[in-house]
Amino acid sequence: MNIIVVGLSHHTAPVEIREKVAFPQEAMAIPLQQMLQLPSVTEAVIVSTCNRVELYAVSRQEYVATSELKRFLANFHDLAPETLQEHLYSFSGTEAIQHVLRVAASLDSMVIGEPQILGQIKTAYAHACECNAAGVILNRFLRKAFSVAKRVRNETAIASNAVSISFAAVELARKIFDSLENKTVMLIGAGEMCELAAKHFVNNGVSKVLVTNRTFSRAEKLAAEFDGVAVSFDNFQEQLHRVDIVLSSTGAPDYVLSAKKLKEVSKARRYKPMFLIDIAVPRDIDPTANKLDSIYLYDVDDLQGVVQANLKGRQKEAARAELIVAAEVEQFCSWLTTLEVKPTIVALRQQMEQIRQGEVEKTLSNLSGLADKERQAIESMSNAIINKILHHPTHILKQKSSGADGSLYVDATRTLFDLPDAVTSDPDSDETNQ
């Protein structure tokens, strides 16, 4: 069995592409079920964040599965495959394992060491479990990813020096406004990113926080944390003329702020500077608003430059983290191979035994008058022949199972002897032994 990854991220696709293939967190059941309906896919997980969309699958048909997953991603979002082709990447086997462990450890994030991605993968895994989409391999694999991420955070300083998208937003705001004192910020959305941003803004001098959300109770709860004010989502735009900084992160499918409305707000503010940060995917704010005088609009891609300036201290720690990931990749690959070694050996012996029994029965039926002792001798001889034939292949399979190329020997054995697919079962579900 192979682990397959197909996806795109901030490394390969701009926000205009990423927002087109984002999966809504509240409706993961349908895409997960459709993934499982692909002929080559046996297990599935979908990770969808503002910076990446990735499909994790288990398959015995590496190339077929990769092709089907790419087609699924395009078809599900009603896109022509060629629209995504240049932005997609795919990994299988060891490369797929390494990629996912690096993602979970935040080594592939826009902000190296940021903690959000681990929570997002855990959420994706929870959705897959609810839909019975994750089986033995992805269950074990993602638990391994979580433990690797924990090791990296505990054994390196990769998460030191608060660096995040929300912190980058504060850095930009401080460049636009010499000081954040006496400034008012409005949060559109009450999720984790908005909460983190609010903490940074308050710690840097913002005097008033307004919070709006489609669920008013959530807006009230977040506003209370900062002695702020909850605003009804139905009329939050009427409050914008009082706001200096807007941070928006909702799951809305369309813009929640139009350029036309912002033009009106700018006029009402007598064209005092207004800073807007749109970290939603799909975007919340019409990007053409950036052409307006006194309006400064940044999306998640725009924040990357600010983030990079704060990453130098984490680069050295990232090198240490890579060594941890490399060791864990080798360990998991070994487990994954041994998962199929035993069923392969059992299937091979069963096939040989069926052949042996058939040939012995055929031979004995043509030899009448044999004594029981003679019949037993023929049985013993045939058993000895099979055992001698299988001894070396079995030894090699067991020996190679702990190596990087162990899966090649398993696949070759199954192909050469035309063995049926094994029913994969976890021989040891205790993660601590890995």
**CATH code of residue 196:** 3.40.50.720
pLDDT single digits (tens) 365-401: 888 888 889 889 999 999 999 999 999 988 888 777 6
Query: Closest by alpha carbon to 53, among 4, 16, 93, 88?
Result: 88
Same structural domain for residues 206 and 268?
yes
Q: Which of 38-47, 119-128, 315-324 has the lowest mean pLDDT?
A: 315-324
Q: Provide the pairing of β-strand 208-213 with 184-188.
A: parallel
> What is the arithmetic mean of pLDDT over 54-66?
94
**What is the pLDDT, as a whole number, of residue 251?**
83
What number is the average pLDDT over the span 190-212? 88
Q: Which domain holds residue 390?
A: 324-358+381-422
Give the mean model confidence (pLDDT) for residues 55-78. Answer: 95
Residue 172 phi, psi dihedral angles, 5° rounding: -65, -40
Per residue in 274-315, pLDDT tens? 999 998 888 999 999 999 999 999 998 888 777 776 677 777
Contacts of 372 (CB under 8 A, 6+ apart): none
Task: Give the pLDDT score at 158.
Answer: 84
Question: At which of 127, 161, 195 does a domain end?
Answer: 161
Q: Is residue 282 reached through a cis peptide bond, with omega within 30 degrees of 0 on the bond before it?
A: yes
Tell whether 104 and 238 lie within a shared domain.
no
Per-residue pLDDT for 144 more than 50?
yes
154 plus 171 within the same structural domain? no
Q: H/E element holding 297?
A: strand 295-299
pLDDT band at 255 (very low <50, low <70, confident <90, very high): very high
Q: 43: domain CATH number? A: 3.30.460.30
As given in the structure block, the two tokens for residue 45 are 């997980």
Distance CA 237, CA 134 (A): 43
pLDDT (0 to 100) of residue 343:
80
- Looking at residue 422, its pLDDT comes to 56
Residue 171: C-alpha distances to residues 131, 188, 275, 327, 378 (Å): 41, 19, 12, 37, 84
**How far apart are the two ends of the chain, measured CA to CA in Å?**
19
Two tokens at 2? 């192979």
Sign of the CA dihedral with 113 first, then 109, 1, and 337 last: negative
Mean pLDDT confidence for 243-256: 92
How many helices (H) does the chain have, and how many strands (E)? 15, 10
Between 59-63, 320-324, 336-340, 399-403, the lowest mean confidence (pLDDT) is in 399-403
- Among residues of the chain, what percentage have pLDDT more than 70? 93
Give the number of other CB atoms < 10 A from CB of residue 39.
9
Are 87 and 147 contained in the same domain? Answer: yes
In a domain, 261, yes or no: yes
pLDDT at position 429: 45
Please indicate, yes or no, if residue 374 is contained in any of the structural domains. Answer: no
Q: Residue 43 pLDDT more than 90?
A: yes
Verify that 119 and 228 share a domain, yes or no.
Answer: no
| Residue 373 lies inside a defined structural domain of this protein | no
Q: Measured between alpha carbons, how far is 174 from 168 in angstroms, rounded to an integer?
A: 10
Looking at the fold, whether 237 and 283 belong to one and the same domain comes out as yes
**292 & 332 share domain:** no
Considering the domain boundaries, does residue 250 fall inside one?
A: yes
Tell me: pLDDT of 424 over 80.
no
d(CA 102, CA 139): 17
Phi and psi, residue 166, nearest 5°: -65, -35
Together in a domain, 43 and 184? no
214 located within any domain: yes
Output the pLDDT for position 185: 95
Is residue 293 a part of any domain in this protein?
A: yes
Band (434; pLDDT cuts 50, 70, 90): very low
Instruction: Tell the residue number behind the tokens 């087609």, with chain if given.
Output: 71
pLDDT for res 159: 77
Classify the C-alpha dihedral 422-423-427-428 as positive or negative.
Answer: positive
Work out how many domains the chain is built from and give that number: 3
pLDDT at 433 over 60: no
Judge if pTM exceeds 0.85. Answer: no
Distances in Å between the Cα of 21 and the Cα atoms of 26, 43, 76, 365 are: 15, 20, 8, 66
Residues recognised as catalytic: 50
217 and 345: one domain?
Answer: no
Same domain, 139 and 26: yes
- pLDDT above 50: residue 430: no
Domain boundary among 119, 141, 161: 161
Alpha-carbon distance of 55 to 48, in angstroms, equals 9
CA distance 212 to 229: 9
In a domain, 315, yes or no: no
Last residue of a domain, one of 130, 161, 192: 161
pLDDT attached to residue 42: 95
Q: Are 9 and 142 found together in one domain?
A: yes
Write the pLDDT tens digit of every residue in 153-172: 999 988 765 566 777 888 88
For residue 431, name the pLDDT band (cuts at 50, 70, 90): very low
User: Is 103's pLDDT higher than 70?
Assistant: yes
Mean pLDDT, rounded, for 128-133: 95
- Judge if 277 and 341 occupy the same domain: no
Mean pLDDT of the chain: 88
Which residues have C-beta within 8 Å of that of residue 387, sequence separation ≥ 6? none
Distance (Å, whole) CA 274 – CA 266: 8
What is the structure's pLDDT at 111? 76
